[in-house]
A = this chain, B = another copy of it.
Amino acid sequence: VPESDNDDNNSNDNKSEDEVLLIELNTDWQKKYFGKSKCALFPRTSEEVSEILRYCHENHIAVCPQGGNTGLVGGAVPVFDEVILSLKRMNSVLSIDDITGVCVCEAGVVLEELDDALMRRGMCVPLDLGAKGKCQIGGNVSTNAGGLRLVKYGSLRGTVLGLEVVLADGTVLSSLLRENRKDNTGYDLKQLFIGAEGTLGIVTKVAILASRAPEARIVTIFACDTFRKVVHLMVEVKKRLAENLSAVEFFDHESLKLTVDTLPGAKDPFPYADDLKTNIQFYVAVETTVNEKAMESRLRANVLNFARSVCVLAEDGRKSRGKFVSILQKKFRGDEAERNKPNLAQRFVISENEKHANELWNLRERISVALKYAGAVYKYDVSLPTIKMYELVERMRERFAERRMDDKVKVLGYGHLGDGNLHLNISRKEGPCKDTLAMIEPFVYEYVTEHKGSVSAEHGLGAMKVQELWRGKDAEEVRLMQRVKNMFDPRGILNPHKMIPSSSPPLPSKL
């Protein structure tokens, strides 16, 4: 019988501490999902993971794998009393190859710690997300996390080279842990575990292709008046800053307002914009990097040049001096110069140094943190055709306005513009409310499906969206998934009630 960590200490002094820990492990990051597990295990080796699973398999005991527990769809906490199998003690970086950039580590390494280890060798993880201080590389792999720099690094499906996985019956599949950049021998089974949310096996080791860490970065924020311009600005950015581009994100004015109001230190990057009667509705955050510090000034010149060429007001919007210059320029600039410009943005601001870059970047990165402190929040993470992406946010606002519920909720749109990935968030200061939820679901899912989007671009399905798997998929496809699940986990002990529904599709509802 595997020992629970909580049983390790039998002294009463520690009991309450253990209980606190157990409550923590049963509660998800958003404090929305609560499990009732009485047993959490913290194995240190793949063999220990294997021992646990073998026992659970033999005895039909359900297991919930847990990484950093930052998942947003209730996947990392038990639904009932599943055994919590935490990877947090398997946190060694095993090897880093300076020549190839291949890094092998245990699944429980916290993303930021892995990044730090690589940084010391001039490299970085090809993945970055707001939860990096807590999420684990094994959790990232298990959710196929996208994050902020997909534009630069591509998907984990390309950069994860190998995995060690422990199957439901305790078999350790160690030959999947390859370190070759290329390997076309047989089916690439590791792909099944990428994004499987712990339903097919426990990821215990990861081989990943690190990137060279940039030595300098410049963050630019553009202010736009329409979403159509936001999209065309993105296209221009991808075209003209391509070689140095690492991220193209966007957020709307509602998101900025909430961040500025909620987080101490967060400042509106365009404080004088209103004076100019510009109608700023959207912000596009562009991150560019160079590998060599020596090239920074050249990059700065490029970015500035680009920004000027797409912007109505051709100077940095941050300097207060610029306020009057802008007004004057606007009045006196020749018509012709104006006509040749695409005028995609109203204003822009370019980071002056790393501290300023962080400040600007945080306006995008910390929206989800601001939301957490601003009351109850309903989070949706969807893919949509880029040009139509923001219509969903507008439709949502209309729905609330029609029912005169719009004074109670804030509807925010932001996300990974460069990847066609919208984060739709409905924030309700006064806490959760059934009527609000009923206004959102299933509307959001139906809308997205109708527009051939994805109801989960990057967060996965977890417990939250398990029934949404059917949307936009042939029944045959879902059935194949069920057969894959059954092949790897015939007793259904791995993260039950998550991701793969055991039943048939629900009856269709009308939009």
Contact = CB atoms under 8 A, between A and B. Distances in A.
Interface of A: 97-100, 122, 143-144, 146, 150, 154-155, 157-159, 171, 173-176, 178-189, 191-192, 194-196, 200, 212, 231, 234-235, 238-240, 242-244, 290-292, 298, 383-387, 416, 419-421, 452-461, 465, 468-469, 471-474, 476-478, 480-481, 483-485, 487, 499-500
A242 B123 CA distance: 13
A461 B185 contact: yes
In the A-B complex, the 6 residue pairs with the smallest Cβ-Cβ separation, listed nearest first, are: A158-B158, A191-B191, A180-B383, A183-B454, A182-B457, A154-B158
Contacts of A188: 144, 157, 191-192, 194-195
A196 B185 contact: no
A301 to B, nearest CB: 11
Identify whether the interface residues of A are mostly helix, strand, loop, or mixed.
loop
A298 to B, nearest CB: 8
Nearest to A419: B181
Given A144-B184, A186-B500, A477 B243 contact: no
Contact of A291 (B154, B179, B189, B239): B239
Contacts of A416: 182
A99 to B, nearest CB: 5
B454 A173 contact: no
Most buried by B among A185, A200, A239, A455: A185
A173 B476 contact: yes
A386 B457 contact: no
Contacts of A194: 188
A469 B180 contact: no
Contacts of A460: 184
Contacts of A421: 181-182
Contact of A185 (B192, B238, B469): B469
